[in-house]
Structure 1
Amino acid sequence: MKTAIYASVAVAMFALPAVAQDAANGEKEFRKCKACHMIQSPDGTDVVKGGKVGPNLYGVVGRKAGTAEGFKFSDALIKLGEAGEIWTPEDLAGYVTDPNSYVEEKVGDKSLKTKMTFKLAKNQADVIAFLAQHSPDAGAAPAADAATPAEPAAPATN
């Protein structure tokens, strides 16, 4: 069973770049999320009014896991952040698909559980495209398949 979950998370993570992302559809899909989450800019402007059970998702893409100001995170998310997790679109897709399995795979500790019980079964890429629109550091988040920068070319000699 766990293998099937990991396989579906991996498929979601690697399929994301190939899937057309529709932020407008993601905004509609985000209705499922706003029972627990809001998107509020640092100046206090509500992008999406929502619950406060979960952290504010403004700026989530490109942010270190477990570090949103004003929210008490589970030990699982704190450990994930301590391990260096920066929320890329691919990582968020894996996380929202199955939060506890994702953290277990990344941190390697079955005893750690997140507070997020909801699993987003479809349209992850669309929701994340919507969140990226409200994440000033989204461009700073490294892509999962980002290549290592090449060495500068040696000057040509004649």
Structure 2
Amino acid sequence: MSRLLTLILAANVVAGISFAEEIGDAEAGKKIFSSCKGCHQIGAGAKDRIGPHLNGIFGRRAAAHDGFAYSNSMQRAGNDGLIWTVETLDAYVENPRALVSKTRMSFRGVKDAADRANLLAYLRGFSANPSNLPEAEPTARATDHDLDPEILALKGDPEYGEYLSSECLTCHQSDGSAEGIPSITRWPVEDFVVAMHAYKRKLRPHPVMQMMAGRLNDDEIAALAAYFKDLD
């Protein structure tokens, strides 16, 4: 019986290594993680620091790690249904504001896709493995979701944005107050555009925002961003 248990555990370790290679190079990812160590720990005995420890991050709902004081924005993302998968972690590591606009994580992101894949392969080794890897969530790898730089470069028409803003203002307050619903008044244009396209691609999980963003084209999102940026 003891020998059987040993064989099962060994098989699980091999499966975990095999899956890590599907994402990227875990050994290379370990080196990349060195830049995260100032805030996060991972592995045996890991504890929360400035940021939560990252054991078991795959498949976990955002802000669900007990005992850590998450920002209001991260808690809201978790309440909206944000789950940490390969796709959502990749988007967050690339640009934290893409998923959580006011995250407290003071990190500009990893822009190189290969570096992100390697980092996620390393992190994946500290989470439990679902039975049907690598096809199913939380480890399914989606197609590239990078936002086209040409979309960020669009110059929106604030007057057109004002015309489009009525639906936004049925929930969001024009004076910038945020009682239960985050403010979008005086948001930087890039933050607004990145967030809206994240809803449009269903990276951010709020179903109403996904529906609203899905109705808008690139120019309309740029126009709304230009309007709300300077709204008094």
TM-score after normalising by structure 2 = 0.44
Partner of 2:199: none
- Show the counterpart of 2:89: 92
2:34 maps to what in 1?
A: 31
- The equivalent of 2:104 in structure 1 is 115
Specify the SS of the correspondent of 1:121.
coil
Contact 1:62 1:137 in 2 (8 A): no
Paired residue type of 2:127: S
Q: Write the letter of the residue equivalent to 1:115.
A: R
- Superposed, 1:71-86 pairs within 5 Å as 71-86=68-83
Name structure 1 gaps, 5 residues minimum.
Answer: 1-18, 105-112, 146-158
Which residue matches 1:56?
53
Letter of the 1:117 partner, please give it: S
Separation in structure 2 between the aligned mates of residue 120 and residue 30 of structure 1, nearest angstrom: 11
Distance 1:22 1:142 in 2: 15
8 Å CA contact 1:65–1:87 kept in 2: the answer is yes
Asked if structure 1 preserves the Cα contact closer than 8 Å seen for 2:41 and 2:48, the reply is yes
For structure 2, the 5+ residue unaligned runs are 1-21, 143-232
More helix by share: 2
CA distance in 2, matches of 1:64, 1:121: 24
Which stretch has the larger CA shift, 65-74 or 95-104? Answer: 95-104
| Structure ranking higher on relative contact order (CA contacts 8 Å, 6+ apart) | 1
Check 1:50–1:68 CA distance in 2 against 1; reply closer, same or farther (3 A cut): closer
Runs of 4+ aligned residues of structure 1 deviating over 4 Å after TM superposition are 137-140
Cα distance in 2 between the residues matched to 1:137 and 1:63: 12
Q: CA deviation at 1:121?
A: 2.6
- Structure 1-normalised TM-score? 0.63
Give, as a single letter, the amino acid of the residue that structure 2 aligns with 1:34: K
For residues 137 and 62 of structure 1, the distance between their equivalents in structure 2, rounded to whole angstroms, comes to 10
Letter of the structure 1 residue corresponding to residue 100 of structure 2: V
Q: Which amino acid aligns with 2:65?
A: A
Structure with greater Cα Rg: 2
Count how many residue pairs are aligned between Structure 1 and Structure 2: 114
Q: Distance in 2 between matches of 1:61 and 1:114?
A: 19
1:71 deviation in Å? 0.9
Give, as a single letter, the amino acid of the residue that structure 2 aligns with 1:125.
Answer: A
Shift of 1:137: 5.1
**CA distance in structure 1 between the aligned counterparts of 2:111 and 2:90, rounded to whole angstroms:** 10
Say which SS state the counterpart of residue 76 (structure 2) adopts: helix
**RMSD of aligned alpha carbons:** 2.5
